[in-house]
A = this chain, B = another copy of it.
Amino acid sequence: MAAKLKTAIFGATGYSGLELVRILERHPRVEKPVLLRRPGDSSANSRTGDAGTTPNDLAEIFPELSGNGGYPLRAMSWSELKRQGIELVFLATPHEVSRALVPEAIVQGLRVIDLSGAWRLKHERHRAVYGFEDVDSAMAAMLMERAVYGLPELNADCIRKAQLVANPGCYATSVILALVPLLSAGVVDREHGIISDSKSGVSGAGKSPTPRTHFAAVADNLSAYSIFEHRHLGEITEQLGLDDEQLTFTPHLLPIPRGILSTVYVRLNRAMTVAEVDDCLRDFYAGRRWVRVFPTQKLPQLQFSLHTNYCDLGFRLAEDGQRLIMISCLDNLMKGAAGQVVQNMNWMYGWDEGEGLH
């Protein structure tokens, strides 16, 4: 067997980073990743509450990792990374940090998968979403162009050759995968408008303690937020070739730690049968192992996809044959983040798409 790939992770101290560490650890073709400390990252937000101290090992922040031999957090320059033979870097950092780090990594000849939103949006109309300057630099402009949106069910070919993969948002993955077969088949009445009523567990909001993530504010509750203005909206419309006004996207915060369920409402432009819709989905996802199209008489539930890399799809069609409701479920930390990262890596290195993900 060939030598194992060497990788490094910036930002392993968040939920997605932890999940990524856990997957890579079991991946047969990858060495245990180098964990990089960001300058000034004091990681006070650990559950253990040891504010102010800088952890030297990820297991100090996530005691669940202890017993597997250590996860040292290192400070390291790009050139040092190169010298150590690292080829691929994962960024699980806030978008403004990713925006700053990625050009440096690319210049060094490293390949990058970025989990933030920093490099996902191409259209000028979305430039303001993440608050970056019009074009912050020629390098950034070029990278923006060359970054590949890392949804393998859409872009596997580009991902294979990409130097910079922008890993999709969790909500975006859930909505795009529900819609793309129907839109590709040209059966959607776009003018009528599409609605995605999406519900997410709390880990999607990050690990920082805020009034919104306080247990008592989430438990026994449900709330809608960022209606008409969530950052993932542009990501979805760009990938699906929709005008922004053609999609209404309503996120809700669920009282569960993880998982997303999107209920997507579509008007078909002609009456279809259940079998036709089913065929449309199955044809599109034939050979795509990480999307499970449920039998027509069943619907996926959020729970079924937890701790897996699957996106589960099901649907119901009204008697009129035109009102279609898609149900799309995934684990926001897996197919919505770290699992998809690994799926992308598998494509980038020509490995089986399922490697390390079962």
Q: A255-B255, A358-B26 are known contacts. Are A303 and B213 too (CB-CB below 8 A)?
A: no
Assess whether A49 is in contact with B220, with CB atoms less than 8 Å apart. no
Determine the chain B residues whose CB is within 8 A of the CB of A193 once the complex forms. Answer: 267, 323
- Given A64-B308, A292-B66 in contact, is the A259-B215 Cβ separation under 8 Å? no
The verdict on A300 contacting B63 (CB below 8 Å), with A213-B215, A316-B227 known, is yes
Q: B195, B203, B299: which contacts A224 (Cβ < 8 A)?
A: B299
Residues of B near A215 (CB, < 8 A) are: 202, 213-215, 217-219, 255, 257
Q: Which positions 181-223 of chain A face chain B at CB distance < 8 Å?
A: 192-193, 195, 197, 199, 202-203, 207, 209-223
Contacts of A74 in B (CB 8 A): none
Asked if A161 lies at the interface with its beta carbon under 8 angstroms from chain B, I say: no
* Interface segment, one of A95-103, A132-140, A144-152, A246-254: A246-254
| Chain B residue at smallest Cβ distance from A65 | B304
Q: How far apart sit A250 and B323, CA to CA, in the bound complex (Å)?
A: 12
Looking at chain A, what size class is its interface with the partner chain?
35 or more
Whether A248 contacts B265 in the complex (CB less than 8 A), given A63-B294, A195-B195, comes out as: yes
Q: With a CB–CB cut-off of 8 A, which chain B residues contact A327?
A: 224
The answer, yes or no, to whether A46 is at the interface (CB within 8 Å) is yes
Of B63, B64, B228, B255, the residue contacting A316 (CB under 8 A) is B228
Q: With an 8 A cutoff between CB atoms, is A320 at the interface?
A: yes
B306 touches A47 (CB 8 A): no
A78 at the interface (CB under 8 A from B): no
Instruction: Flag whether A289 is at the interface (Cβ < 8 A).
Output: yes
Known A49-B212, A265-B195, A318-B248; judge A257-B301 contact (CB<8 A). no
- How far apart are the CA atoms of A214 and B68 in the complex, in Å? 26
B67 touches A254 (CB 8 A): no
Q: Does A104 contact B (CB under 8 A)?
A: no
Let me know if A305 is at the binding interface, CB within 8 A. Answer: yes
Q: Does A179 contact B (CB under 8 A)?
A: no
Q: Decide yes or no: A211 and B306 within 8 Å by CB, A220-B256, A263-B250, A325-B227 being known contacts.
A: no
